[in-house]
């Protein structure tokens, strides 16, 4: 069972919905184990023993598969100092009396303690210039650390909601109602969480004896086979395995492939392979394969590029012909 640790204040708690928030609904729906550390009226900035930083340090859970932290509106309302993104990564070097320092401390602490994916979520739009500045700061920090943002603030579909629906969904500019959590916030956040798990999924290959050479080292050609194994697993996990692609009349040939070998591997080594959609803009798909040994050392970085063609060998316009696959790949893509 996957365990998700949530850290936040009143929105994470569900103060306008009887203590039920999206966290409860998502975890119940998907069978995730929930650890919800949420206290209303608290801030990221470490001003007292109820701050996000203080409560995180006291949180007694030994494992997390995903850590999700709220970008607190209380810091904006209380006009806490914004601060700036630091150059370092040592958690003891961050100024936790600023929003930037507190966020970076939380990321560093959670990464060191659990080694799991980390995401921050924002609130939906309301009239607050200080919170808007916090969202922009979070983007900058996320770029530095490679963390995820579940960004309700900038999401077009959230900003396009009618005044009538907004009145049903929100008890006030900040806090959702139970209906708002269930019908508005949860579907988006649920999908975002599933995407994060997909991005961080690892395929495990155990090096076989026949894959090694006379020196006992894995022959270089096998890494390309492992990339295919991981790619097949990735497609299966996103719900578009090769059988489904072929049923839809799609073939996806390999256009190019490369391997950058970093360390040797030997018989019985367990190699974890994480597949990332490095780029997808509708026509070509570029994948990256980060292969690590059991010590966490990178042994190989692979890349492959792919097209989507029909039975006649002509490009398939996924955006119009298969919008579900198109939207999924666009969400998963890094597109640097």
The CATH number for 202-332, chosen from 3.10.129.10, 3.40.50.170, 1.10.1740.10, 1.10.3720.10, is 3.10.129.10
- Three-state SS sequence of 254-295: EEEEEEEECCCCECCCEEEEEEEEEEECCCCEEEEEEEECCC
Does pLDDT of 235 surpass 80? Answer: yes
Domain boundaries defined on the chain: 3-199, 202-332
Tokens 């004896």 locate to 209
7, 61, 94, 112, 113 from 118: Cα distances, Å:
11, 16, 18, 11, 12
Work out the average pLDDT over 313-332.
Answer: 93
- Provide the percentage of residues in the chain whose pLDDT is more than 70: 100
Please say whether the beta carbons of 201 and 274 come within 8 A.
Answer: yes
- Please determine, looking at this structure, whether the domain spanning 3-199 carries the CATH number 2.40.10.350: no
Does pLDDT of 335 surpass 80? Answer: no
Q: Say what the pLDDT of residue 84 is.
A: 96
Q: Say what the pLDDT of residue 133 is.
A: 98
Please say whether the beta carbons of 66 and 5 come within 8 A.
Answer: yes
Q: Say what the pLDDT of residue 128 is.
A: 97
Does pLDDT of 336 surpass 90? Answer: no
Q: What is the pLDDT of residues 119-135, one digit of tens each?
A: 999 999 999 999 999 99
Tokens 């059991």 locate to 294
CA distance 325 to 302: 23
Q: Which of 213, 233, 236, 260 is catalytic?
A: 213
- How many Cβ atoms sit within 10 Å of the Cβ of residue 27? 21
pLDDT band at 157 (very low <50, low <70, confident <90, very high): confident
Beta bridge partners of 318: none
pTM of the model: 0.87
260 is catalytic: no
Work out the average pLDDT over 278-300.
Answer: 95
CA distance 109 to 210: 42
pLDDT band at 247 (very low <50, low <70, confident <90, very high): very high
């Amino acid at each position: 069972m996957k365990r998700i640790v949530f850290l936040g204040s009143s929105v994470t708690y569900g103060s306008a919905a009887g203590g039920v928030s999206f966290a409860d609904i998502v975890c119940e729906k998907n069978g995730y184990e929930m650890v919800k550390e949420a206290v209303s009226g608290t801030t990221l900035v470490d001003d007292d023993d109820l701050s996000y930083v203080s409560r995180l340090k006291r949180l007694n859970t030994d494992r997390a598969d995903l850590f999700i932290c709220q970008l607190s509106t209380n810091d904006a309302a209380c006009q806490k100092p914004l601060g700036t993104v630091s150059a370092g990564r040592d958690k003891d070097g961050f100024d936790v009396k600023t929003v930037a320092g507190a966020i970076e401390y939380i990321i560093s602490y959670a990464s060191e303690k659990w080694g799991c994916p980390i995401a921050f979520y924002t609130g939906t739009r309301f009239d607050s210039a200080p919170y808007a500045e916090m969202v922009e700061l979070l983007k900058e920090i996320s770029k530095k650390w490679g963390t995820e943002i579940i960004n309700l603030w900038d999401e077009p579909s959230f900003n396009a909601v009618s005044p009538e629906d907004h009145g049903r969904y929100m008890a006030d500019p900040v806090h959702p109602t139970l209906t708002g959590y269930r019908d508005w916030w949860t579907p988006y956040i649920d999908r975002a969480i599933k995407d994060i798990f997909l991005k961080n999924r690892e395929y495990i290959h155990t090096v076989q004896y026949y894959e090694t050479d006379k020196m006992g080292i894995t022959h270089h050609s096998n890494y390309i086979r492992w990339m295919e194994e991981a790619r097949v697993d990735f497609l299966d996990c996103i719900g578009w395995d090769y059988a489904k692609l072929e049923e839809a009349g799609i073939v996806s040939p390999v256009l190019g492939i490369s391997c950058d070998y970093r360390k040797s591997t030997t018989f019985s080594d367990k190699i974890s392979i994480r597949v990332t959609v490095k780029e997808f803009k509708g026509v070509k798909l570029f994948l990256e394969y980060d292969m690590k040994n059991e010590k966490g050392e990178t042994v190989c970085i692979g890349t492959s590029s792919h097209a989507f063609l029909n039975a006649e060998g002509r490009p398939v316009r996924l955006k119009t012909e298969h919008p579900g696959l198109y939207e999924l790949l666009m969400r998963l893509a890094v597109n640097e």
